[in-house]
Amino acid sequence: LQLNIHDAAQRLAFRRFNALWTPTVIILDPAGNERWRVEGFLPRREFHAQLEMGLARIVAIRKRWADAEPLYAHIVETFGDTHVAAEALYWRGISAYQVTREHATLERMAIELTSRFPQSEWALKASVWV
Amino acid sequence: MPRLLFGDNTGMALQWRHEPDAALAEAKDQSKPLLIDFSAAPT
């Protein structure tokens, strides 16, 4: 579902959701909890990847790891050239680990992150498993 | 292969809502996520 809030007419709603700037896009889960936020303009492809991350986050935060893993894998595969790719790869690995409990899953993810996205903070976060 | 959650059709028509409380209630009733777009562009 989509809700548009326009600055000129709905300033209270901006305050309610702590929107500081436009454009801002927030993804809420069905219970109304904020799960993802994009502040500022992004080109279409980057924006699309962010939206996919938001929906994957909703699944992951419910700890539905077996469902989350293919969503993150899809983002890595389809949006591997975007700025969210490293984060998606990280969470793909975490999701897979939560399903299998095999530590080697984390190590493989860390190696792939270091190889593909060596400058990302996600490679740093995964470096503990290398 | 999982489907693209938001589809691949950039010309897809969206049904924009404009009342936050009603949209939140609708999302809850339908168990669907809610995307909120805060804009300032002239309408």
Average pLDDT for residues A39-56, to the nearest whole number?
A: 97
Tell whether A4 lies on the interface with B, counting CB pairs under 8 A. Answer: yes
- Chain mean pLDDT for chain A: 96
Q: CA A48 to CA B5: how far, in whole Å?
A: 10
Residues of A in contact with B18 (CB under 8 A): 3-6, 10
pLDDT at B9 over 60: no
| Chain B residues closer than 8 Å to A10 by CB | 18, 20
> What does the DSSP assignment read for A30-97?
TTS-EEEEEES---HHHHHHHHHHHHHHHHHHTT-HHHHHHHHHHHHHHSTTSTTHHHHHHHHHHHHH
The answer, yes or no, to whether ipTM is higher than 0.85 is: yes
pTM assigned to the model: 0.90
Contact flag A28-B43 (C-beta cutoff 8 Å)? no
Q: Return the number of other C-beta atoms located less than 10 Å from residue A78's C-beta.
A: 19
pLDDT exceeding 70 applies to what percent of chain A?
Answer: 100
Tokens of B43: 């309408």
List the Cα angle A16/A19/A22 in 5-degree steps. Answer: 145
One-letter amino acid for residue B7 of the chain: G
- Which two structure tokens, joined as six digits, stand for B13? 């028509």
C-beta atoms surrounding A100 within 10 Å = 13
Report how far residue A16's alpha carbon sits from residue A38's, in angstroms, rounded to the nearest whole number: 16
Name A25's bridge partners: A38, B37
Which of B18, B19, B34 should we substitute to test contact with A (largest number of A Cβ atoms within 10 Å)? B34
A16 vs B: CB within 8 A: yes
